[in-house]
Structure 1
Amino acid sequence: MNVTETLSQGLKREFQVVLNAADLKSRLDDGLQGLQGKAKINGFRPGKVPVAHLRRLYGRSVMSDVLQNAVNEANQKIVTDNGLKLAFEPQIRFPENKDEIEAAMEAKGDLAFTVALEVLPKIELADLSDVSLTKPVAEVPDADVDAALERMAGQNRTYSNKGEKAKAASGDRLMISFVGTLEGKPFDGGTGEGIPLDLGAGQFIPGFEEQLEGAKAGETRTVKVTFPENYTAPHLAGKPAEFEVTVTEVQAPEAVKIDDELAKAFGMESLDALKTAIREQIGRDFGEQSRRKLKKSLLDALDAKYTFELPPTLVEQEFASVWSHVEVDMKEAKKSFEDEGTTEEAAKADYRKIAERRVRLGLVLAEIGEQAKVQISDDEVTKALVERARQFPGQEKQVWEFYQKNPQALAEIRAPIFEEKVVDHLLEQVKVADQSVTREALYADDEADETAEAKPKKAAKKAKKADAKGEDKAEDASA
């Protein structure tokens, strides 16, 4: 096997590999001899099938394996001899000349093929001793605890019959039965019996609840609505419908009581214990938000420290992922780029910068984690996998088996764990000062602080939040 580098341009490399006919024949003969002891062919005793006969029967199949093994061997040799870290699997280009391929398959001619690579850049780690970060910290306001108690009490609110002549008002609960029609014909899912409806809660199709205000028990009304364009049932989306709605009972909400009995309904011994639990939960939420903002500041600092060439294919893949979110959100919002004060070309340029930032930070975090020898234990992966499975009640076993059988999917579980460990490692190297802030400041829109500001903001909110939360590419790059 003869390997020659033919291109070294930026992060792109190409090598020509030549397998001469003698080498191919030797490999083919070895493969056939290995098959000789295993083949069971009528008319021959085990192990006594002539190699020439095996070659006629299985020569092309064995040669296919020979070529695949040769390609793998060449790839490994190129990576090892040149000390390369690959961004992607090597791309193999065989000759277009069919006669040349055919001669190689018969081990009667040399085979030359090209191995095209895209490598990861070499990253020199920056000194972070001059980095100073501020960690926003907020105390849990009593008002937040009280508001949570009000919501919980509302969930346990009881209702009582207002009477036959009472009119329904916002905040009341109606018991209704209905039959829906499209163009005068009933449709699947359009019928309901004994359904509770809380007026003003926005539980039903827009416009449905408002048309029942003032209704009395026993009254029937025709409610006309139009299903939203993004309705979950495609056959109903955007279509006008009519519902014959009968109100069977009008109920008024009773006064909410926030006391020990409410606490017991939620499994707590007393109201004080419930308040303590609520405060602790809000405190954990504040802590997670504080961590997110601190991490965002750290990523911004890292982004300012590093400039290097990025693997083009990695950037293209990341951009495609970001842009797909933009297109979906624009479609759901029924917005155009002109509506957002920009053009598609300008938006693409802005989001490409976000993709480049995410790839750059992912590579930096991977290099830092590798040099710091950051490890992820099996227990940590198992715990994360259990949490993921719990997100799909009733399907836990299927989810578990899916990840166990799909290494790439399991890598998506490992990547965030790896990234958070690298972030912890980095936070030990920089200066971090706590800063007391209000709840409002803690949860202020992160978009205002984006270093890679882009439009349309609303359309790509998901993409931007993903960027602010982290790159989640670190372990993939280090693999």
Structure 2
Amino acid sequence: MQVTETLNDGLKRAYQLLLTAQELDDKVNQKLAEAQPDIEMKGFRKGKVPMALLKKQFGQRILGEAMQESIDEAMGQHFEETGDRPALQPKIEMVDGENWKEGDDVTVEMSYEALPEIPEVDLKAISLEKMVVKAGEDEVNEALENLAETAQDFEPRKKGTKAKDGDQVVFDFVGRVDGEAFEGGSAEDYPLVLGSGSFIPGFEEQLVGVKAGDEPDVTVNFPEDYQAEHLAGKEAVFSCTVKEVKAPKKAEINDELAQKFGAEDLAALKADVAKRLEEEYSGAARAVMKRALLDALDEAVSFDLPPSLVEAEAKQIAHQLWHEENPEVEGHDHGEVEVSDEHTKLAERRVRLGLLLAELGQKAEVEVTDAEMTQAIMNQARQYPGQERQFFEFIQQNQQMQQQLRAPIFEDKVVDYAFELATVSEKEVSKDELQKVVETLDDE
């Protein structure tokens, strides 16, 4: 196939591919010859069907396959010879289009934007500061107070006391729709914390003010999107019998509380809490150091960027920020979001750093393992309780989703590789100092 360059401007490339009618016919004959031994046809023994008959019977279908294979082979050879790497899938257009007929030469135009040459970066010349925060006694005690609140107990209120938000009401109930009790709509000695939002909207509010011995009827409407379709949107009446009203009581911070959370005693729980806090601080400090690394890399390199990548990234940024500013709009059937200079500038940084990190990772032979991908999929699957298997199958069949999960893992591994080579000094700071720096990251 003859390949002629028609455009070479910056990173933009265009070529004309000429596949002669003879080359195409030869390709069709080759594919038919390869298939001939396995073809059976009425009146002929297996493998003995004449080529002319095969061509008449299968020629049109084989023609399209041969044309596509020839173009793919020419593209592959072109990229191998030139060393070009297309930023996006090359655009392929048949020049003659609808006017082309069998027996004509095939002329195809191929255009793409090549990825730029990425300059070398001396990672050892980069200096970074790692903020270190130790978990102090005040932070540990604050965390223990929070644990005590989550482990709260309830103690009976005085007889005749009315229930209020935060109280626990122990009651029996039977739910009916159209006068008929329904499956799963009844329970005995059920402990419900008022204000917890664990029951149908409107239910808990109607129990505020009840006292032991009361027998209120609670009327609610099931939501239109309720998971049980036979109940969705219907009115239900729950006949209730209040047995006890209890007040919340914060758990005491002692060995008993520690054992509730799996620790041997209070001292062990404090050690666990301090370790967990310092892991959280370490994660925040890593984010700060990663931003510093990316800033240093951004300043260290400069190269042409594929316009199509920048444009696509800028549109995505603009779209994401628009939805953050308009959280009430859930779908994407809104008008076109305008891309600003600020969006484009941020897109250029992201594309530049993305290409640079990809190059660094490739040269360092950084790979995302199957185990890391499986863990990432499992983490995502937890967001869909009861549908984990379907989520796994969806990911397995969706290359784009796999790439979306793989990309951040790859980036973090490249960042860790850069940390190992860079000069890193530690600086001990307070929790508040670290928090202030983290907040500046969120503002950018």
TM over 0.5: yes
> How much does 1:66 deviate?
0.5
Give the whole-Å Cα distance in 1 for the aligned partners of 2:45 and 2:221: 79
The answer as to whether partners of 2:288 and 2:437 remain within 8 angstroms in 1 is no
Please say if 1:95 is aligned against 2:107: no
Secondary structure class of the residue paired with 2:4: strand
Aligned length: 431
2:261 is matched with which residue: 237, 242, 266? 266
Map 1:72-471; keep pairs closer than 5 Å: 72-100=72-100, 102-103=101-102, 108-128=103-123, 130-175=125-170, 196-199=191-194, 215-217=210-212, 248=242, 249-332=244-327, 345=338, 348-389=340-381, 394-444=386-436, 446=438, 448-449=440-441, 453=444
The answer as to whether partners of 2:222 and 2:236 remain within 8 angstroms in 1 is no
The answer as to whether partners of 1:178 and 1:243 remain within 8 angstroms in 2 is no
Structure 1 residues 137, 203: closer, same or farther in 2, change over 3 A? farther
The answer as to whether partners of 1:208 and 1:224 remain within 8 angstroms in 2 is yes
**Residue-by-residue CA offset, 1:426-449 (whole Å, 9 max, x unaligned):** 223333222222212323374534
The answer as to whether partners of 2:288 and 2:441 remain within 8 angstroms in 1 is no
Structure 1 residues 206, 36: closer, same or farther in 2, change over 3 A? closer
Letter of the 2:311 partner, please give it: E
**Residue-by-residue CA offset, 1:310-351 (whole Å, 9 max, x unaligned):** 2222223323433333333333258xxxxxxxxx75x74323
CA RMSD of aligned residues (A): 4.1
Please say if 1:59 is aligned against 2:59: yes
The answer as to whether partners of 2:203 and 2:218 remain within 8 angstroms in 1 is yes
> How much does 1:149 deviate?
2.1
> How much does 1:395 deviate?
4.5
Give the whole-Å Cα distance in 2 for the aligned partners of 1:301 and 1:359: 15
Structure 1 residues 44, 225: closer, same or farther in 2, change over 3 A? closer
Give the whole-Å Cα distance in 1 for the aligned partners of 2:217 and 2:114: 66
Identity over the aligned pairs, expressed in percent? 38
Letter of the 1:110 partner, please give it: D
The answer as to whether partners of 1:126 and 1:306 remain within 8 angstroms in 2 is yes
Structure 1 residues 277, 446: closer, same or farther in 2, change over 3 A? closer
Secondary structure class of the residue paired with 1:65: helix
Secondary structure class of the residue paired with 2:8: strand
Structure 2 residue ranges without an equivalent (≥5): 176-181, 330-336
Structure 1 residues 223, 46: closer, same or farther in 2, change over 3 A? closer
> How much does 1:140 deviate?
0.8
1:5 matched residue in structure 2: 5
1:33 matched residue in structure 2: 33
**Residue-by-residue CA offset, 1:275-298 (whole Å, 9 max, x unaligned):** 111111111111111111110111
> How much does 1:364 deviate?
0.7
Secondary structure class of the residue paired with 1:428: helix
Give the whole-Å Cα distance in 1 for the aligned partners of 2:423 and 2:415: 13
**Residue-by-residue CA offset, 1:413-461 (whole Å, 9 max, x unaligned):** 432332222212222333322222221232337453469x4xxxxxxxx
Give the whole-Å Cα distance in 2 for the aligned partners of 1:225 and 1:308: 63
Give the whole-Å Cα distance in 2 for the aligned partners of 1:387 and 1:69: 40
Give the whole-Å Cα distance in 2 for the aligned partners of 1:254 and 1:323: 48
Structure 1 residues 407, 206: closer, same or farther in 2, change over 3 A? closer
Give the whole-Å Cα distance in 1 for the aligned partners of 2:192 and 2:340: 44
* TM-score, normalising length: structure 1: 0.76
> How much does 1:306 deviate?
2.6
Give the whole-Å Cα distance in 2 for the aligned partners of 1:224 and 1:144: 45
Structure 1 residues 142, 66: closer, same or farther in 2, change over 3 A? same
Give the whole-Å Cα distance in 2 for the aligned partners of 1:39 and 1:371: 48
**Residue-by-residue CA offset, 1:164-183 (whole Å, 9 max, x unaligned):** 42133454233578999xxx
Structure 1 residue ranges without an equivalent (≥5): 181-187, 335-343, 454-479
Structure 1 residues 450, 359: closer, same or farther in 2, change over 3 A? farther
> How much does 1:67 deviate?
0.4
Give the whole-Å Cα distance in 2 for the aligned partners of 1:247 and 1:296: 58
**Residue-by-residue CA offset, 1:75-112 (whole Å, 9 max, x unaligned):** 11221121101211221101244232x13xxxx22111
Give the whole-Å Cα distance in 2 for the aligned partners of 1:75 and 1:163: 84
